Amino acid sequence: MGQYNIVKGQDFELWQKDMAFCAPGGKTPVIGWDYPEYYLAQVTFKAEEVERNPKAPRWEKAQKAEINFWRKWRKNILYKNITPDTDWAEVLKRTGGPLPAGKVLDIGCGPISVLNFFRGDGMRPIGIDPLAELYAREQIVEWKKGWEPITMVSLSAEKLPFANEYMDHLICFNVLDHVADAVAMLKEMLRVLRPGGTIRIYIHTFSRWLKKLLFFDSPHLSHWEHIEFSKLLESSGLEIIQENIESALFFELPSGFYATLRYFSYWIASKAVKTSYFLLKKPNG
């Protein structure tokens, strides 16, 4: 048997009643439920053998870097004035505008999911992130005042725990270069998305010369130029509706020699890293 945890939030009972959750990969329904803590639900499923990805050790290192970032990010002078609703509004504008109604999955949602700040009428939001349980346990999840945070599944996205063509729309912001197997993840995204459904993606893309120097970059397991990543999306079977490239930074860096030294990696990013934004569609038929 296998198990995964769900952090209970917005519409959890509806998702459960709708029998939304499956074994990872969507092949078999769950066979049992438990509730180990008031905010957690534990799913039991018939386990299938899964091959270990060769990038797994690097992925585990990247996950440690990720949780350490989120534990401290509000103390970082560069981020302390960040307002997620303002930044997410800009990302949404660059990926197609307001979010649609329907079942919307935020893949790699993190502790400040866009769906915790923007929801349209008739939307049923849910997130998935391998660190979701840790985010909840350490109380670093943020959401819009007066709302309830989204329900989050605590799993990686190479095998999504939802049935085929179950979701209406997907969001995947700053995620695909952090996963162990981006190709497998894209296949899973296509599997769970209904025909005609849309995917919004953004990802950091790099200059060719900089890619050769990124062997030390623990949080990112893959590095693409914009054109490379665009071709990867098309080869997966997705139709690109809209794409654009913008600066990688949403904020101004402190000026001066010592500030440049202190935040040198961010200074490099401002010169040689871009953010690539995509609105994509799963073709009908």
Kindly indicate the confidence band of residue 75, based on its pLDDT and cuts at 50, 70 and 90: confident
- pLDDT at site 134: 95
User: Percentage of the chain with pLDDT > 90?
Assistant: 64
pLDDT tens, position by position, 46-60: 876 555 565 677 788
Kindly indicate the confidence band of residue 82, based on its pLDDT and cuts at 50, 70 and 90: confident
Q: Is the pLDDT of residue 124 over 60?
A: yes
What type of residue sits at position 40? L
**Which residue has better confidence, 41 or 51?**
41
pLDDT tens, position by position, 197-228: 999 999 988 877 666 666 666 667 788 899 99
Kindly report the pTM of this predicted structure: 0.91
Measure the CA–CA gap between 95 and 199, rounded to whole angstroms.
Answer: 9
- pLDDT at site 51: 55
Which secondary structure element, helix H or strand E, spans residue 240, and what is its range?
strand 239-247
**What domain count does the chain have?**
1
pLDDT tens, position by position, 240-256: 999 999 876 655 666 77
CATH number for the domain spanning 46: value is 3.40.50.150
- pLDDT at site 54: 56
- pLDDT at site 268: 63
Kindly indicate the confidence band of residue 235, based on its pLDDT and cuts at 50, 70 and 90: very high
Backbone CA torsion sign across 144, 145, 146, 149: positive
Range of the domain at 213: 2-281
Kindly indicate the confidence band of residue 260, based on its pLDDT and cuts at 50, 70 and 90: low
Q: Which of 155, 144, 150, 141 lies closest to 103, judged by CA?
A: 150
- pLDDT at site 265: 65
Backbone CA torsion sign across 110, 116, 118, 122: positive
- pLDDT at site 222: 83
- pLDDT at site 221: 78
Measure the CA–CA gap between 57 and 72, rounded to whole angstroms.
Answer: 23
